[in-house]
Amino acid sequence: MKERNKTLGEFIIEKQEDFKYSSGELSRLINSIRLAAKVVNYKVNKAGLVDIIGKFGEQNIQGEDQQKLDVYANEVFMQTLVNREIVCGIASEENDDFITIQGNDGLHNNKYVVLIDPLDGSSNIDVNVSVGTIFSVYRRVTPIGSPVTLEDFLQPGDHQVAAGYVIYGTSTMLVYTTGNGVNGFTLNPAIGTFYLSHPNLKFPKDGNIYSINEGNYVHFPQGVKDYIKYCQLEEEDRPYTSRYIGSLVSDIHRNMIKGGIYIYPTSSKAPNGKLRLLYECNPMAFIAEQAGGKASDGFGRIMDIVPTELHQRVPFFCGSYNMVVKAEEFMTKASEK
């Protein structure tokens, strides 16, 4: 079978032995995410035709207005994972706290916890711009058989066993890693099957795209301001191109294919940064590193950060390896002044 003709299901079965904890559970978990993604994709593609766009009328734990599709996507992913009895706990960006899951036998014998951002970039829904789903998987650290605790979720990103994202765009793609490289699968909507379309995805070591909301320039730390000026200088390989969608999944996906850096730093408006470590930064960092890229908080590796709370925010620099290194140099230099 040609590599690109493989379905996601066939690929999961074939690569199951690559996973050091191979027991079938992780494969079933990825399959559940695949199913939920197809359901959400169907609803996203009907936005504008049915009453699914606009605000839901409530705010999430972050104090952000929830969109109707936020709530719908959250329910779909939560229900799919709960009903299949694959995981022992789930934490969602949309929920205040994690939930613990027991099987029909009343026991808590499953090994994995999932952290999920059900619909990243939801502010773009109403204007028909690509949105996505981000997920992260860990092995529990508490004893099997007992209910999960906060400790199971507050693990550094380096302990992830799988991570991925779904991008609902001109085509729908599921991109994921289990620590053996990154592969992308595109949904054939005619038959509802994901096919391997982007095997062994890699960030170019260098790039010419920088992705940052320059409207917040005056609020950025000096190191970020200096790096932006560097990107804009007229040199042999510069100025770089500025491209910012405002949907993390879309910006990271583009830069992984074309080469670039995504930055969401601290600012005077968001002193801790805005992106969530557990739901956004860690999974994207795992994917980036597996694709030959780099992910940092501006000074050190994102996946080395030990979380202290479920909805912790951090600054985020992610993309082509050499670009992130250069941005870190500017941050360090500015901090030493």
Residue 1 is predicted with a pLDDT of: 43
Residue 49 is predicted with a pLDDT of: 44
Q: Collect all residues with Cβ–Cβ distance below 8 Å to 258 and sequence separation of at least 6.
A: 204, 207, 209
23 burial (CB, 10 Å; 0-12 / 13-18 / 19+) is exposed
**Residue range 84-110: mean pLDDT, rounded:** 87
- Residues belonging to the binding site for Mg(2+) are 93, 117, 119-120, 280
Q: Is a pLDDT exceeding 60 seen at residue 322?
A: yes
Helix (H) or strand (E) holding 139: strand 131-139
Question: Lowest-pLDDT range, 81-90, 163-172, 304-313?
Answer: 81-90
Which 3 state secondary structure label does DSSP give 114?
Answer: strand
Q: Does residue 182 or residue 62 have the better pLDDT?
A: 182
Helices 282-290, 248-258: crossing angle, 10 deg rounding: 10
Rounded CA-CA distance 226/217 in Å is 11
**Residue range 289-295: mean pLDDT, rounded:** 98
Cβ–Cβ under 8 Å, residues 116 and 135:
yes
Helix (H) or strand (E) holding 25: helix 25-44
The full length of the chain comes to 337
Cβ–Cβ under 8 Å, residues 28 and 85:
no
Rounded CA-CA distance 26/281 in Å is 21
Label residues 241-274 b or e (16+ Cβ within 10 Å = b).
Answer: eebbbebbbbbbbbbbeebbbbbbbbbeeeeebb
- Residues belonging to the binding site for substrate are 120-123, 213, 244, 274
Q: Does residue 129 or residue 56 have the better pLDDT?
A: 129
From 3.60.15.10, 3.30.360.10, 3.30.540.10, 3.30.1370.60, which CATH number describes the 3-198 domain? 3.30.540.10
Cβ–Cβ under 8 Å, residues 214 and 227:
no
pLDDT in tens, 2-27: 566 799 989 988 877 766 665 678 88
- Residues belonging to the binding site are 93, 117, 119-123, 213, 244, 274, 280
Considering the segment(s) 209-335 as one domain, its CATH architecture is 3-Layer(aba) Sandwich (3.40)
Q: Is a pLDDT exceeding 80 seen at residue 45?
A: no
156 burial (CB, 10 Å; 0-12 / 13-18 / 19+) is middle
**Residue range 267-280: mean pLDDT, rounded:** 95
Q: Give the global pTM.
A: 0.92
**Domain limits of the chain?**
3-198, 209-335
265, two tokens: 């730093």
Question: Lowest-pLDDT range, 18-27, 135-144, 150-159?
Answer: 18-27
Rounded CA-CA distance 64/87 in Å is 28
Cβ neighbours of 285 (radius 10 Å): 29
Cβ–Cβ under 8 Å, residues 115 and 136:
yes
Integer-rounded Cα radius of gyration of the chain:
19
Helices 321-335, 222-232: crossing angle, 10 deg rounding: 130
Rounded CA-CA distance 135/77 in Å is 10
pLDDT in tens, 207-258: 999 999 999 999 999 999 999 999 999 998 899 999 999 999 999 999 999 9
DSSP-assigned states of every residue in 26-92: HHHHHHHHHHHHHHHHHHHTTBTTBTT-SEEEEE-TTSPEEEHHHHHHHHHHHHHHHHTT-EEEEEE
Helix (H) or strand (E) holding 294: strand 294-296
